[in-house]
Amino acid sequence: MPFSKLGLPPALVNGVKAMGYTDPTPIQLRAIPVVLGGGDLIGSAQTGTGKTAAFALPTLARLGKHEPRGPRVLILEPTRELAAQVETAFRDFGRFTDLRATVVHGGVGYGRQRSELQAGTDVVIATPGRLMDFINERTLSLAGVKILILDEVDRMLDMGFVKDVKKIIAMCPKERQTLFFSATVPPEIEEVARFALRNPARIEIGVARTVNQSVTHAFYPVPQGLKFDLLVALLEKTDFQSCIVFSRTKHGADKIARKLKAANHSVAVLHANRSQNQRVEALAGFKSGKYEVMVATDIAARGIDVAGVSHVINYDIPANPEDYVHRIGRTGRAAAVGDAFTITTPDQAGEIRDIERFIGQKVPQLKLEGFNYSAQPKPAMGFQGAAPAHGQRPAHGHGGGRGGQGGHGGGRGQQQREQRYFQPSSQTQAPRPGQPQGHGGGHSQQAEHPQRKFGNLSRGRWQRR
């Protein structure tokens, strides 16, 4: 069924066309009629399924025309990046309307957000903390909210926003439409849902336990002390177009980025301790191809939509199996192909089992051909940005970088202070015997990767003021 048959007004159908979408995705097909009909909804959908349009399009349709008062739609997002991304989607879809959207998040000054709110906006897309600031200073009232949307609810609760979220829900009028989107709906979310929604329809698409079919994924066991060397070797042997490397910690992400830079990769870093400007620059640089590698933590990368990510490498195995699915969801989006590698250490059999149980499939454990698994882990000095033992990154494979080095600062002095992080573990062991060798024909036979596609679309009448 085409978008034009879903009951959306022509201005929005044209907005969707301008985005290059031809047919609705399954969640759009199912959610748009429910939201247009005014019903509450709990949508569980894997990232990359098109859920943003599934709520944005019918919401814009219900708004009709701009009204110069307080917001009629409030959307809560767990991170600044997601909030910014959803705002962009609203502006893109609404380009042929006169509706206005305002994003409200921390990490930037209050002035511009305050004046946009004061000027009157139809849709506010916000992270909970900054939203509460504006409510407390009485710049913003939620009294006119007719549609409340909570996106990535599971992550919002994981991040400790539950109190703020409940407070915000309670500040919205009782007569409203409420939509919940969450990758999974565990009992604590059901509890918030009972409090916030009325007879919700439930739509479950591509349950988060499934790993996107278009992604090949594998575990690469390695002794603890050789993790970084294996990461560099994987990057060298992989014909990647763009790669996200996941670290469990912010500190670890900085460290990995610094060392990758020393190995001649162009690197961006994304984590919660980076300033808003640094985050924006990192994402924009990664999207444009200035940085070929982005080192990120789970929270920073949650839901981020970057087209053409050809590879994901989990430098650290994710802390919980759900994050495995989310991380891998960064690649293979919108039917593109992508590969996902997870570096594992001998003490992680439990985590591996949990992931396999969660996704309901065995993940192959591979060895990288040509990598010296019995090399002595290097002493800490070898990790301090001095010439790494693997040498400079050769020009083969991915073309010697796209220029530009990642903006994450940090000099040698800091590296020395932080060297403990990469000290090899005393438990270093060889990988388990009997693991399959190679990588189904090796890295050299990667499928062709999609071109990056970043529309430079006009924003029409959606204007920042």
How far is Cα 319 from Cα 325, in angstroms, rounded to an integer?
A: 12
Segment 18 to 47, residues that bind ligand AMP, using CB under 6 A: 21, 24-25, 28, 47
Of 92 and 229, nearer to ligand AMP (C-beta) is 92
Coil vs helix vs strand at 62: helix
Candidates 404, 217, 152; CA nearest to 294 is 404
Q: With respect to ligand AMP, which residue has the nearer C-beta, 46 or 102?
A: 46
Name the minimum Å distance from CB 1 to ligand AMP.
11
Asked if 51 is part of the footprint of ligand AMP (rule: CB under 6 A), the reply reads: yes
User: Between 85 and 345, whose beta carbon lies closer to ligand AMP?
Assistant: 85
- Write down the least CB distance from residue 24 to ligand AMP, Å: 5
Place of tokens 């003490």: 347
Which CB, 163 or 453, lies closer to ligand AMP?
Answer: 453
| Rg of the chain taking only CA atoms, in angstroms | 23
CB atoms within 10 A of CB 10: 9
Q: How far is the CB of 370 from ligand AMP (least distance, A)?
A: 36
Q: What is the DSSP string of 324-341?
A: HHHHHTTSSGGG--EEEE
Please, what is the minimum distance in Å from the beta carbon of residue 333 to ligand AMP?
A: 6
Q: Which of residues 310-349 bind ligand AMP (CB under 6 A)?
A: 333-334
> Cα–Cα distances in Å, from 175 out to 32, 63, 131, 372?
20, 16, 21, 64
Q: Which is nearer to ligand AMP, 31 or 368 (CB)?
A: 31
Q: Based on CB atoms, which residue is closest to ligand AMP, 36 or 334?
A: 334
Interface with ligand AMP, residue 59, by CB under 6 A: no
Q: What is the DSSP letter of 76?
A: E
Q: Is 312 exposed, middle or buried (0-12, 13-18, 19+ CB in 10 A)?
A: buried
- Min dist CB 56 to ligand AMP, Å, is 8
Distance in Å, CB of 47 to ligand AMP, minimum: 5
Would you state the structure tokens that stand for residue 159, as one six-digit string?
Answer: 């991040």
Amino acid at 229: D
Site for ligand AMP contains 58 (CB under 6 A): no
Q: SS3 helix, strand, coil % of the chain, rounded to 5? A: 40, 15, 45
Cα 21 from chain centroid? 21
- CB 356 to ligand AMP: min, Å: 25
Among 8, 53, 203, 270, binds ligand AMP (CB under 6 A): 53
Q: 266 by DSSP, 3-state: which?
A: coil
Q: Beta-carbon neighbour count of residue 391 at 10 Å?
A: 11
* 49 is an interface residue for ligand AMP by CB under 6 A: yes
Q: By rule CB under 6 A, what string of x and - marks binding of each residue 292-311 to ligand AMP?
A: -------------x-x----
CA distance 174 to 190: 19
H-assigned helices in 197-309: 227-237, 250-262, 276-288, 298-301
Question: Which of residues 50, 58, 200, 401 is near ligand AMP by CB under 6 A?
Answer: 50
Q: Which is nearer to ligand AMP, 53 or 340 (CB)?
A: 53
Shortest Cβ 334–ligand AMP spacing (Å): 4
Which of 14, 44, 52, 446 contacts ligand AMP by CB under 6 A?
52
Vertex 299 angle, CA 121 and 293, to 5°: 105
Comparing CB distances to ligand AMP, the nearer of 256 and 301 is 301
Residue 88 interacts with ligand AMP (CB under 6 A): yes or no: no
Question: Footprint of ligand AMP on this chain (CB under 6 A)?
Answer: 21, 24-25, 28, 47-53, 305, 307, 333-334
